[in-house]
A and B are shown apart, each in its own frame.
Chain A
Amino acid sequence: MKVKDLKELLDAEVFCCEDNLERQVDSACGCDLMSDVLAYVKDQGALLTGLVNPQVVRTAVMMDMICIVFVRSKEPTEDIVALARDNGIVVLNTSKRLYEACGILYSNGLTGKATKS
């Protein structure tokens, strides 16, 4: 699906990099532990997390991800948004909880497995 589909499914707000809403994401991961993302994630384009700090953005940059979704209405601070903008990563925020947000995306075809690997 495209980032904009993901945004609509989660009824999410966009904080930066609207230009990248047309980009394709084939898989995602939901995680609050950044070291686990760094260890196990491969080519997942979206990161859903309840953790809100700049390390989430840096982790997403390291993994070449396309977008970050902050769950449970957690507002990213301006420094977080600025860092994401600088690195071309779309930042979204949804009122849904992590489990629910992941479930919605999964049942709409966004799996946890990257198609290219």
Chain B
Amino acid sequence: MSEPLVFHFDIDGEDFISAGQASIQIKKNLRRLGLSPETIRRVSIAMYEGEINMVIHAKGGEADVKVYEDRIEIILADKGPGIKNIDEAMQEGFSTASDTIRSLGFGAGMGLPNMKRYSDSMDIDTTVGVGTTVTMVIKIQ
């Protein structure tokens, strides 16, 4: 099996305003690779919501995007507070985000459901007090 092409990003958790830069970059990189607009859109939306989550809930983290022949893996790892109850977090509308974040257009509790909607599979590995790693796989179409 051939080695994947890997893009790595450190996600700065300091400010919400710059959150999403890595996802914009990924979109550009995938366009250059000539993937279909639909695949690019799914990857970039899923990653964007995940990137926003790392910034607003976990003070930043690291993102790796691995491009294989048949699929793209997005791995978002943070050392934030972890998620207490994954089932609850996955519900549309559930959010612990602040009013400030809400006034900026996010924090409506749609992020994790969106990430699931746009990926073919999503796995959340989380430990309270240690951190969260979200892995999403999107098939290349």
Closest Cβ of chain A to B86, distance in Å, is: 19
Classify chain B's interface size. 20 to 34
Interface of B is mostly: helix
Nearest residue (CB) in A for B20 is A58
B27 with A33: CB separation less than 8 A: no
Using A54-B17, A63-B41 as known contacts, say yes or no to A35 and B104 having CB atoms under 8 A apart.
no
Which single residue of chain B is at the shortest CB-CB distance from A54? B17
Contact B110 A38 (CB under 8 A): yes
Q: Does B23 contact A (CB under 8 A)?
A: yes
Which residues does chain A contribute within 8 Å of B24, judged by CB atoms?
Answer: 58, 61, 87
Interface size on A, residues (CB 8 A): 19
CA distance A34 to B111 in the complex (A): 10
Whether A26 is near chain B, meaning CB under 8 Å from some CB there, is: no
Which residues from 52 to 77 on chain A have a C-beta closer than 8 Å to any C-beta of chain B? 53-56, 58-59, 61-64
Q: In whole angstroms, what is the CA distance A64 to B45 when docked? A: 11
Task: Give A contacts to B, CB under 8 Å.
Answer: 32-36, 38-39, 51, 53-56, 58-59, 61-64, 87
